[in-house]
Amino acid sequence: MTTIRITGGFCLLPTPTGHRAERCDIEIVDGEIVEVRAAGGVASTDVDEIIDARDLLVTPGLVNAHTHSPDNLVRGTAPNLPLELWSLSSAVGREGRTPREVQVSALLGAIEMLRTGTTTVLDHIRFSPDLDPAGLEAVASAYREIGIRAVIAPVVADRPVIDTLPFEAEELPPSTQEAYGRTALMPAAEQIAIVERFVRAWHGRDGRISVAIGPSGPQRCSDELLERAGELSRRCEIAFHSHVLETRAQQVMAQRLYGCSMIVHLHRLGVLSPRASLVHVIWAEPADFDLIARAGAAVIHNPVSNAKLGSGVCRVPELLARGVTIGLGTDSVCCNDSNNLLETAKWAALLHSLHARAPESWVGPEQALVAATRGGARAIGLGDRVGSIAPGFAADLTFFRLRSPAFAPLNDAVRQLVQSENGSGVEMTMVAGRIVMRQGRCLAIDEDALWAEASELAARRLRANAGIYDAASRLAEPIRRMYRRIGVLDPERQT
């Protein structure tokens, strides 16, 4: 049994609607918080280690509830364009990856997250063209090695790309159809079988690694695949995580495929539940919000990537008014250029003030911090384990230096954390009672060696995939023709 005592920290403790800041001592036994008491109170046991936190703000570790780690090796290569055009280059960068490239890519993101206060990540991990068991193992091994808590959601999809966008025949000449490809993807049953084997091998490993099922998006999945994914989620009690209604094109595609909203279709298939986390949910209607709320599903808000791609703005205040759980995600570094959840939390706190006229309906720093911690934890199936400094929760904690620009002077800890701190004040991060990052360095890996290897691997992959980039670029004009028809980038048509 290992016991740790954190003494005198200025701690953000949970309240029914947010947080309160108090000087506290925290007792940790075998990675779990067993007691939180006023600083200087009577200690009940001897301890193995004491952490003096008098000059530190102690917060729940942040929860990044949506990212894609394979994109870390192609950071900065995708242009500022709408999603469907952006994907032409971002997807090509992931082609042909080796398991080591996948592992290094995951480690890169984990370093950035741990340095900026994130202790839990949901990795919506995608491989082309089919699932790669070796790649899944590589991602899980990376997170196990570096010490972060992770939920790994393998992406499943079984519709060819050409069939997932609302093209008309004249917008996609036969000469370009081959580039999109109609190659049959792996059957639904085989994809689910791969994920289920991964669940059995890794779900619950070391108490830090969990597995979810991650349909790419309803328009990219047959109903059979969605139903099988929902059944796996129920049977194995794992999270169901999917992009939903991120773009105008997806809204149009839903009507073409189903004759109704994607949310309505998911409801009819029976996959909306408290295990479901729906990512983006920009092009939804109020009736969709009601269905999400009644199902107990959560929404993952990605304001930075939505802005870069011009996708629109998720109506978070309306969802919160219905009691929907909101988590936050950085999304891919190719459509955000950062894995820093503090940056995303600031966007979430401020963005909606532009759209909601009544100040009382603005999101603000308190609700943004809830979304960045226990909201995200609930959304990805860890709500009873992480996201709060309270007995029974894992000791996943972030320590910020109070003697730093964001907190000098200290007047409102929550407001200054969300709207002033950028990660530069993080002193250390702790996961399951283990310090995994201190003073800007991850302790379990050789960062310098990783930087060098990542640069070499990335350069080699860009050279190897140059021809694929050229082929993908020829597909841009058909997408632009489709955009013109459906009104993409027309602000009058965005929700």
Q: Is the peptide bond before 129 cis (omega within 30 degrees of 0)?
A: yes
Q: Do 341 and 64 meet the contact criterion of CB atoms below 8 Å apart?
A: yes
Closest CA to 369 of 313, 419, 309, 429: 419
Strand partners, 279: 243, 300
pLDDT digits (tens, 9 = 90+) for 271-290: 999 999 999 999 999 999 99
pLDDT above 60 (res 437): yes
- How many helices (H) and strands (E) the chain has is answered by 18, 18
Radius of gyration of the chain (CA): 22
The verdict on whether omega for the bond into residue 409 sits within 30 degrees of 0, i.e. cis, is: yes
pLDDT band at 443 (very low <50, low <70, confident <90, very high): very high
Give me the pLDDT at residue 173, please.
75
Question: What span, in angstroms and rounded, lies between the C-alpha atoms of 376 and 379?
Answer: 5
DSSP 63-79: EEEEE-GGGGGGTT-S-
Residue spans of beta strands (DSSP E) within 101-254 = 118-125, 149-156, 209-211, 214-215, 240-244
118-125 and 62-67 strand pairing = parallel
pLDDT at 494: 47
**Neighbour tally for 103: CB within 10 Å:** 21
Q: Name the percent of the chain lying above pLDDT 70.
A: 95
For residue 89, the model assigns a pLDDT of 79
- The span from the CA of 105 to the CA of 94, in Å, is 10
Predicted pLDDT at 177? 63
Q: Is 27 helix (H, G, I), strand (E, B) or coil?
A: strand
Report pLDDT for 181: 55
Q: What is the mean pLDDT of residues 334-346?
A: 96
d(CA 327, CA 495): 20
Does the predicted TM-score (pTM) go above 0.85?
A: yes
Other beta carbons within 10 Å of 434: 17
Cα(405)–Cα(222) distance, rounded to whole angstroms? 51
Domains of the chain, start order: 62-379 (3.20.20.140)
| Residue 476 in this model has a pLDDT that exceeds 60 | yes
Cα separation, 104 vs 110, in Å, equals 10
With H, G, I as helix, E, B as strand and everything else as coil, classify residue 305: helix
Amino acid type, 13: L
pLDDT band at 372 (very low <50, low <70, confident <90, very high): very high
Burial of 392 (0-12, 13-18, 19+ CB in 10 A): exposed
**Mean pLDDT on 198-210:** 97
- Predicted local confidence at residue 244, as pLDDT: 98
Cβ–Cβ under 8 Å, residues 147 and 431: yes
Task: Give the mean model confidence (pLDDT) for residues 370-391.
Answer: 98
Report CA dihedral (25, 28, 33, 34) to the nearest 10 degrees. -80
| Residue 474: predicted pLDDT | 73
Candidates 305, 309, 355, 358; CA nearest to 332 is 305
| Residue 495 clears pLDDT 60, i.e. is over it | no
Question: What is the structure's pLDDT at 180?
Answer: 59
pLDDT for 389 equals 98
C-alpha 454 chain-centroid distance: 22
CA distance 94 to 97: 6
| Average confidence score pLDDT of the chain | 93
- Cβ atoms of 416 and 410 closer than 8 Å: yes
Q: What is the tens place of the pLDDT at every residue in 19-59? A: 999 999 999 999 999 999 999 877 767 899 999 999 999 99
| Amino acid sitting at position 105 | S
Binned at pLDDT 50, 70 and 90, residue 176 comes out as low
Q: What angle do CA 345, 9, 380 make, to 5 degrees?
A: 35
